[in-house]
Amino acid sequence: MTEPRSDALAFFGATGDLAYKKIFPALHAMARRGHLEFPVIGVAKSGWGLEQLRERARDSIQTHGGGVDEKAFAVLLKRLRYVDGDYNDPATYTALRKELGDAAHPAHYLAIPPSLFATVTEGLAKSGCARGARLIVEKPFGRDLPSAQALNRTIHSVFEENDVYRIDHYLGKEPVQNLLLFRFANSFLEPIWNRNYVDSVQITMAEDFGVQGRGRFYEEAGAIRDVVQNHMLQVVGFLAMEPPVTTYHESIRDEQAKVFRALRPLRADDLVRGQFRGYRKEPGVSPTSTVETFAAVRLHIDSWRWEDVPFFIRAGKCLPVTTTEVLVTLKRPPLRKVGDTNYFRFRLSPEVIIAVGSQIKKPGEQWISESTELKVVHNPEGEEMDAYERLLSDAMVGDGMLFAREDAVEAAWSVVQPILGDVTPVLEYEPGTWGPREADRLTEEIGGWHTPQKSGG
């Protein structure tokens, strides 16, 4: 059964930071491709009018969208409307219903704090705006398992699960999708992609900058909630999932959820938390903060494929480089004279690199091997689609493959729930280092952490 296309988009939080940095550039890109064929209604409480929102959109696209294409921007202006009002006021939703006109399948995008989800969902229901509609929800989806379950109950009081699209923008990134395709489109991987050949898996998400003025937000989040529970576990899911059934559109999400359910809930001895020196002096940060800006965890997947293969995640701010990289290390060959092990290395950002570590004979009389790396740098031709453009386009046509499903979200929270809060001390580390030295104990069994190099390596 073909899903109906959404025939209007209302986005709440139209004057906010996310709309400025991501949503307006995505809408502009859709217009440039000829895909913006529906009215777009911004909703916010700012005392603005439509003209101010138009100016905000132009500035947004100029600053964060790579420059204004006047032809595409004219299309966006033609589609753009605005409702200014309090989310607690029924009149706001009455005005929205009027702006939606004869739209029978609108999509409502909640680019607002989760504390407002219930208020807006109820307002949409009472005004008739939710009838035949989809709901697009921005992360974070809850702060822990109980709050995520409560949010799901709130949303499901109005919307069916197949009409809910939970955004994790990481799933919309081309390199992350490339990782999934590389796994299943190349037949040489499947025979060795299991516990018989894989020794360990490491995922590093490093940023060489701090909280960039977002101290107040980070005090509520921390590295575990901000990136480990969502982005990093999604990458684990793509690496560890079983082959999807290609004829069934929910199969990728089914396999992701199975991985999350097979992950052992984390314990305190699986975790090392860190905080870069100077974080407590950031605006909006408590001088006695115990929020982590670095987290390293050791994961185990209780499945036939991955039993006894450790997965490691390391994520943090003020580290030496900015990159996201995966290293899948294979088991050592039986001949001890052979040198280092083979591996697959996937760099997901800032550039896309797929590399294979192999052994060749070192020149000379002796039978000694040396390491070499076979590397492919992926430079896509043409304009790459931004994650938000892809996800927004998919949601409007009813394609949920790249969105987090209810059961997967709750299963992911179940994995990290035991380590939320101050279950371990937060250890100070110097900016520009790889976090607290105590994190090294997690990877002692495999010889230490893999250290990604700066761009180009």
Nearest to 280 by CA among 229, 205, 208, 210: 210
Residue 231 catalytic?
yes
Grouping H, G, I as helix, E, B as strand and the rest as coil, residue 343 is strand
* Token output for 281: 């002096």
| Beta pairing partners, 42 | 11, 82
Set 231, 249, 378, 450: catalytic member: 231
Sequence-separated (6 or more) residues with CB below 8 Å from residue 258: 241, 242, 303
Given the structure tokens 């489109």, which residue do they identify?
185
Nearest to 285 by CA among 357, 236, 217: 217
Strands 311-316 vs 80-84: parallel, antiparallel or unpaired: unpaired
Cβ(300)–Cβ(310) below 8 Å: yes
* Token output for 129: 């705006």
Strands 352-361 vs 343-349: parallel, antiparallel or unpaired: antiparallel
Cα angle for residues 20, 209, 143 (degrees, 5° grid)? 65
Name the packing angle between helices 145-156 and 406-416 (round to 10°).
Answer: 160
d(CA 34, CA 73): 11
Active site residues: 231
